[in-house]
Chain A
C-alpha cells in the first residue's frame, strides 16, 4: 500500500505542472488553486488503482481527473458558471451527471430526446471532421475551459483571431450537423 502511495506521489510530483495547468483556468481564483490541487491529489490517490494504461495514457487520465475534480471543487465553492453539469463519474473521470441531468429534463418528449441523441451522434461525426488546430481550440475552450487570452497566447494567435476561429468552428459544426441545406 505504501509502495502504491509513494508511486502515486511520484506521479503527482512529476505531473504537478499538468495538474495546475488544468485546475487554474477552471477554478479561476488564484487563492483557491492550491486548495483545489490538494483535493485533486486526494482524488488521484483514491482512484489511482482504477487507472488502466490499456484504456488510455496517464496524461489523459490525469487530465480527466483534474478537470472534473476542479469543476466539482468550483461547484462546491458556488462558482455556478463554471460548475455546470460535470461531477465525477464512476471511474473518477467521467461526466455522467451532466448527461443524467440533461436526460432528466421533463419538458422533452421521447422524440425530442431521440432527436437530441441523434444530434449528439451528428456532433461526434462533425467533430471528427475538424482539423487538428480546430480540435485543439475547441478542446481548450470547452474542455480545458481556458480563456481566449490563454488559448491565443499558447497557440500564437491574437484573442480576436481565436474568437474568429471559434465562431467559424461552431458554424462549421452546425453546418455539418444540419446537412447541406442549413445556412
Chain B
C-alpha cells in the first residue's frame, strides 16, 4: 500500500472521504466519461424492460415441465411477468391497454386454475367442461397475443416505422396447432420435434423484433406504478401459497373422533391367544372389543415384514388368527417411526387374500399427547373393481381408510383388522395381508389426489413416492401348518 493509500485509508470517516453530496458530485463527474454509457445506452429506454418481461412471461407460460411442480410454477410466474410488463406499457396505445387488462385476467385465471387443481372439483368437472376451460384459456392467450402484437405494430406506426411487423402472429398460429394436436391426442415424435423447433425459432424471432423496436420504444410512455413489481409478485405468490396450504388442509386433513384408551380386560382370551403365540406386546395394544370373538381361536401365525424402504419409516407385523368356525382374522399392527406420519393426512389400502371378501373390518390409531394416551376409530370402506388380467375379468377387492393424527401428538401407532371366511370344504393354508400406507408430506400437494390411491395404476401414474407423497408397505403371507 502506498503512502497515499495509507493516508487515504486513515482519512476514512473524515472530510477526505466523500459524503453523500460529494459522492453525487463525483458520480456526475465520473459517469460522462464512463464506458458504462455505451454499455447501457441501448438498455435504457421505457420499452425494453417491459417487453423483456412480456416475452419472458410468454415463454414461461408455453413451457410445460412435469417436474418439481414446474408445471404450476412456470405459468404462474409467466403470467405475472407478462402482467408486470404490460403494466408499464399500458399507456402506450389502446392495444397495450387491452393487453394489460387481458394479462390481469390471465393472472386471475391461472391462479384460479391452480387453486382448483388443489381441490377435487377440477377432476370432477369431467372431460367436456375441462376441455371448455382449456379452450377458454387458449382463447384468452390468443386474444392477449393479438393485442400485444397489434400494440407493437401501432407503436411502430406512430414512430413512423416502415411496415411495422406484428411479431406475435406466428406464436398465435403455433398455439392453435399445439392445441389442436393436444385435442387429437397426437403422440408422434416427428411433428412434436418440429413444433419445438418452431417454438425456438418463434422466440428468437420475437426477440429480434423487440430489438428492431428499440427506436420505437422511446415513444412509448411508461405508466407510473404505485407498487413495485417485486412486492406485487411476492404478494401474489404468498397469497397463492397460503391459499394452497389452506385448501390442502381443508380437503385432506381428516381428524377422527378422539377417545381415551379403555382399561384392558378379556384376560382369558388374551391368555389363550398368548398361549397360541400371539405376542404380548401386540396383544397389549389391541382393544378388548377386537379380541372378544377370538376365544375359540385355534391357531395364531405371524409374518414379519417391514416397509420396503431402506430407511425404515414404519414397522409392523401381520398376525392371523384361525377360528374354529372357519373364520380367519388378520391383524396388521404398525408403528410410525419418528416423523414418518403426515401432518396432513395418512391413508391405508388393505388388500387381502385374492378372491375373498372381508366380512368385517376395523381400524384403530393410538397416540400420546400431553402424557395421556388417546385413540380413534378409523372408518374403513370396502371397494371392488373389475380387473382384466390376460383377458380374464376378475374382481379386485380392498379396504381403504384415511386419518390424521393430531398436531404435536407422539407415539403414533395403530392396527387394522379384517376377517374373511373359508368357503365350505375350503382349507386355506395361508392368508395374504397387505397394508399400503400412503401419506402426503405436504404442506402443498398438487394436483389433488383421492386417498388412498384407488389402484396400483393410479399409484404409479401419480408418481409413486414423488414430491409431496410417500408410501410404505407392510406385507405378510402367514402360512398355517398343514
Contact = CB atoms under 8 A, between A and B. Distances in A.
Contacts of A158: 225-228, 231
A3 interface: no
B215 interface: yes
B88 A156 contact: yes
Contacts of A136: 40, 43-44
A158 B295 CA distance: 78
Contact of B32 (A15, A20, A94, A157): A94
Contacts of B216: 17
B17 A59 contact: no
A174 B17 contact: yes
B225 A153 contact: yes
A21 B46 contact: yes
B215 A15 contact: yes
A102 B229 contact: no
Interface string A83-127: 011100000001100110010000000011011001110011001
Interface stretch (B8-16, B172-180, B400-408, B421-429): B8-16
A152 B222 CA distance: 9
A52 B225 CA distance: 39
Contacts of B28: 84-86, 98, 142
Contact of B37 (A21, A60, A173): A60
Contact of B40 (A123, A139, A159): A139
B315 to A, nearest CB: 53
Given A182-B12, A183-B13, A139 B36 contact: yes
A115 B32 contact: no
Interface in B203-259: 214-219, 222-231
A59 B88 contact: no
B37 A64 contact: yes
A161 B228 contact: yes
Given A14-B215, A115-B8, A153-B88, A138 B32 contact: no
Contact of A118 (B4, B23, B87): B4
B228 A143 contact: no
A156 B225 contact: yes
Given A18-B45, A119-B17, A143 B26 contact: no
A178 B12 contact: yes
A156 B17 contact: no
B7 A115 contact: yes
Centre residue among A142, A150, A161 by max chain B CB count within 10 A: A142
Given A102-B29, A153-B88, 12 more contacts: A60-B37, A94-B33, A119-B8, A142-B24, A152-B225, A152-B228, A156-B88, A161-B228, A161-B231, A174-B23, A181-B9, A181-B12
16 contacts: A17-B215, A17-B216, A20-B218, A59-B42, A94-B32, A102-B25, A120-B30, A139-B37, A140-B44, A156-B50, A156-B53, A158-B228, A170-B20, A170-B24, A174-B20, A178-B17
Interface of B: 4-5, 7-9, 11-13, 16-18, 20, 23-34, 36-38, 40-46, 49-50, 53, 84, 87-88, 159-160, 214-219, 222-231
